[in-house]
Amino acid sequence: MQIFRAHVLVCGGTGCTSANSEKIISELEKNIENNNLQNEVKVVKTGCFGLCAEGPIVVIYPEGSMYTMVKPEDVKEIVEEHLLKGRIVKRLLAGDTEADDVSKSLDNVEFFSRQHRIALRNCGIINPESIDEYIAYEGYKALGIVLAEMSPQDVIKVVRESGLRGRGGGGFPTGLKWEFAIRSKNEQKYICCNADEGDPGAFMDRSILEGDPHSVIEAMAIAGYAIGANQGYVYVRAEYPIAVKRLEIAIEQAKEYGLLGTNIFDSGFDFDLEIRLGAGAFVCGEETALMTSIEGKRGEPKPKPPFPAVKGLWDKPTVLNNVETFANIPIIILKGAQWFSSIGTEKSKGTKVFAIGGKINNTGLVEIPMGTTLKEVIYDIGGGIPDGKKFKAAQTGGPSGGCIPEGHIDVPIEYDTLIELGSMMGSGGLIVMDEDNCMVDIAKYFLEFTVDESCGKCPPCRIGTKRMYEILERITGGKGEEGDIEKLEILAKNIKSSALCGLGQTAPNPVLSTLKYFRDEYDAHVSDKKCPAGVCKSMLSYVISDELCKSCGICARNCPVDCISGEKGVPYKIEQEACIKCGACMEKCPFKAIFKNA
C-alpha cells in the first residue's frame, strides 16, 4: 500500500460541484504532477464538509489547513506554496488567520467546533466511492458484530435503549418501530429507506448519500437482520444524480465484497438492496405514498392503521426510516446505547442534522446535540444575520413546520419543545428570516408549495389548502376583508384534524404559527392595507423626494417600464399606475432621493 505524506481533500458534494470543484481536482492533479509530487500527495474527492457558504472547500492533511472559496486559478499557488514549500496560503484560509497555529485552521472555525458529528461522521473525510476507505473507518464492523454476536432481539433492544427517534419528521422511536415489525409474522418482510427529501432548502439526506453511502447500506442490512427481512429499497429522488451515482457504486462494491447478497459473513443471513427513483412528488415523502410509488403505482397515501410494520410494501411487514436515521445505526451498535443516549436531552437523544439557509451568513449543513438552542445555531454556528439585520423568525420543519419568533430564540431544539411552539423538527430544514421578511408572505409561500404538491386524494387537503391560499393571496394583494383572518384559522384547524396524511395535517402549520406570533402583521395587511416589512408589492409605492432630487435622470434611464419623467431643474415624478414596484430606481439613485412607502 502506497504511503502519502499529504492528502488533499476536495469537496465533491452538489454545492461545490456546481461551483467548479471538479475543475479544481483536475488542476490539482495536473499541478501535482508538474511538480513531481504524484508519489507524495494524494487528491481525494469527498462529500460535503457542511460549510456551503464558503465552498468550494479544500482541506490539506496532516496540517488540517482548510481553504475556502477556492477557484481553479488558486490551485497553482496552493500546490507550489503549501505542498511544495510548506507555506500556508493565508489569503484562502478559513477561520482565525491570526491564531497561534494557523495550519490547524479547522480547529479555528467556530462553525465546526460547536458541532457533534455522528450521522455526518464520515462526510468530508472519506472518498464516498471507496469501500476500502469506509472499512478503514470501522465500516461494516457493526454488521459483523450483529451477525456474529447478537440476536435480532438484541439489536432491537440496543436501538430502543439508545432512544433514537426517526429523523424524517415524525420522531417515532426507531426501536419500537422495528419491534412492531419483528412481531409481525410473515415469510417476506422489507426494509425501505426514505431518501426523497422534498422540503424546500433541505439537503441533509442528499449529503449523507453523497458523502457516506455505505453507512446507510450497512444500517439497512442491520435492520433487515433485526426484523427478518432479506430485501431493501432506497427510494431517492432522481433530482439527486450525484447521490444516486454514489449509492449505485456503493451497492455494487458491497455486493463484490460479500456484504450484500447471500450468506453475509457466512452467517446464513441474506440481504439485497435496490434503488427506486422518485419523480419529485412531495407527497411521496409520506411513508405509505412512498411504498405505493415503489410498487409502481401513483404515489398516494393510504389510511392508517394498518401501519407499515404490519402491512406495508406489497402488503408485507415493512420498516421505513429516512437516511439520517439509518446513518446513526452502525455507530450506535459500535459504541452502545448508553453512549448515544448520553447525548441530547431526556426525550430527544443524540444529534440532529440541519440544513440552515435564508438570512444567515454560514449557510450549510450542521449537526448539533439535541437541546442546543436556536440562538446558538443562528449566531455561534451560523455566524448571525447578514448586514447586521435583526433576527425575526426561524422556520423549522419546512412546509410542515412553523415559524419560531425572536422571543423564543433561546428555546432548546428538541422534538417536544418545537411542537409546543407550533412548529416541528421535520427532516431538518431551518430557514432564517430577518426584519425584511413579511410573515404573511412567508406563510403564503409555504402554503403555495403544499397546494402544488397535494396529491388530491382527500378533500381537506385538495380543497381546503387551496381556499386558504386564495385568502392569503387576497390579503397580500391589498384586498383583505374583515373576517378573513378568522376564516383562515377555522380552515386551518379543520384541515389539521381531518386530512388523510401527514402532508395535509401539517400544511396549516406555517399559517397557524405566523398567526400566533405575528398577528399584528395580518391585521396591518387587512385593516390598514399596509405591509410592515415592505414586501407585498401591491401595497407599496416608490416616491421621489422633491428636496433631494437633483433631476439627473438616472432613475428614469433605469426604469424598465418608463414610468418616471421629469426635466432639468424640476424634480422627477413616478407615475404610480404604471410602476411595477421593481425598486430599480431606488437602487440606482446616487442621491438616495427615492423612498419606499409600505
Helix (H) or strand (E) holding 509: helix 509-517
The CATH number assigned to the domain holding 368 equals 3.10.20.600
Query: What is residue 1's predicted lDDT score, i.e. its pLDDT?
Result: 67
CATH number, position 487: 1.20.1440.230
Alpha helices in 60-199 (DSSP H): 75-77, 85, 110-113, 131-136, 141-149, 152-162, 174-183
Helix (H) or strand (E) holding 235: strand 231-237
Asked, for residue 124, whether it belongs to a domain, the answer is: no
Same-domain pairing of 564 and 460? no
Same domain, 12 and 155: no
Cβ atoms of 396 and 509 within 8 Å: the answer is no
β strands within 397-436, DSSP E: 402-405, 429-434
Q: Please give, one letter per residue, the 3-state secondary structure of 334-371.
A: HHCHHHHHCCECCCCECEEEEEEEECCCCCEEEEEECC
345 within domain boundaries: no
φ and ψ at 373, to 5 degrees?
-80, 155
Single residue among 55, 81, 113 that ends a domain in this structure: 113
Measure the CA–CA gap between 263 and 522, rounded to whole angstroms.
Answer: 62
* Residue 119 is assigned to a structural domain of this protein: no
- What CA–CA distance (Å, rounded) separates 221 from 218? 5
Q: Are residues 452 and 369 in the same domain?
A: no
277: exposed, middle or buried (Cβ count in 10 Å: 0-12, 13-18, 19+): middle
Give me the phi and psi of 111, to 5 degrees please. -55, -40
Q: 58-61 and 190-195 as β-strands: parallel, antiparallel, unpaired? A: unpaired
Please check whether residues 326 and 443 belong to one and the same domain: no
Asked if residue 253 and residue 383 are part of one domain, the reply reads no
Using N-to-C axis directions, what is the helix angle for 509-517 and 439-453, rounded to 10°?
A: 170
**pLDDT of 282:** 87
Task: Tell me, yes or no, whether 323 lies in a domain.
Answer: yes
DSSP 426-494: TTSEEEEEETT--HHHHHHHHHHHHHHH--S-SHIIIIIHHHHHHHHHHHHTT---TTHHHHHHHHHHH
Task: Judge if 218 and 336 occupy the same domain.
Answer: yes
The three-state secondary structure class of 138 is: coil
Rounded to an integer, what distance in angstroms lies between the CA atom of residue 57 and that of residue 12?
9
Domain of 14, in residue numbers: 6-113
What is the rounded distance in angstroms from the CA atom of residue 542 to the CA atom of residue 222? 62
Domain count, the chain: 5
pLDDT at 537: 87
CA-based nearest residue to 227, from 146, 288, 107, 287? 146
- For each successive 10 residues of the chain (598 residues), what is the average pLDDT? 91 95 97 96 96 95 94 97 94 81 78 93 96 97 97 98 91 96 96 91 93 98 98 95 97 98 96 94 90 94 93 96 97 98 95 95 95 95 94 90 92 91 86 95 93 90 94 94 94 93 89 95 93 89 93 94 91 92 92 89
Q: CA-to-CA distance for 417 and 423, rounded, in angstroms?
A: 9
Q: Residue written as cell 477557484? A: 71
Do 77 and 138 fall within a single domain? Answer: no
Contacts of 495 (CB under 8 A, 6+ apart): 460, 461, 464, 465, 468, 504, 505, 507, 508
Q: Give the H/E segment covering residue 249.
A: helix 241-256
- C-alpha to C-alpha distance for 307 and 293, rounded to whole angstroms: 17
**Three-state SS across 266-318?**
CCCEEEEEEEEEECCCHHHHCHHHHHHHHCCCCCCCCCCCCCCCCCCHHHCCE
The greatest distance separating any two alpha carbons of the chain, rounded to the nearest whole angstrom, comes to 92
Q: Of 434, 468, 501, which residue is a domain's last?
A: 434
Residues 165 and 107 in one domain: no
- Residue 25 belongs to domain with CATH number: 3.40.30.10
- Residue 121 domain flag: no
Co-location of 226 and 308 in the same domain: yes
Nearest Cα residue to 471 out of 514, 511, 530, 527: 511
- The verdict on 188 and 217 lying in the same domain is yes
**Which CATH number covers residue 161?**
3.40.50.11540
Q: Is residue 278 part of a domain?
A: yes
**Do 389 and 517 reside in the same domain of the chain?**
no
363, part of any domain: yes
Handedness of CA 169, 171, 177, 178 (dihedral sign): positive
In-domain check, residue 123: no
Beta bridge pairs of residue 595: 543
Same domain, 524 and 549: no
| Domain limit, last residue, from 51, 86, 113 | 113
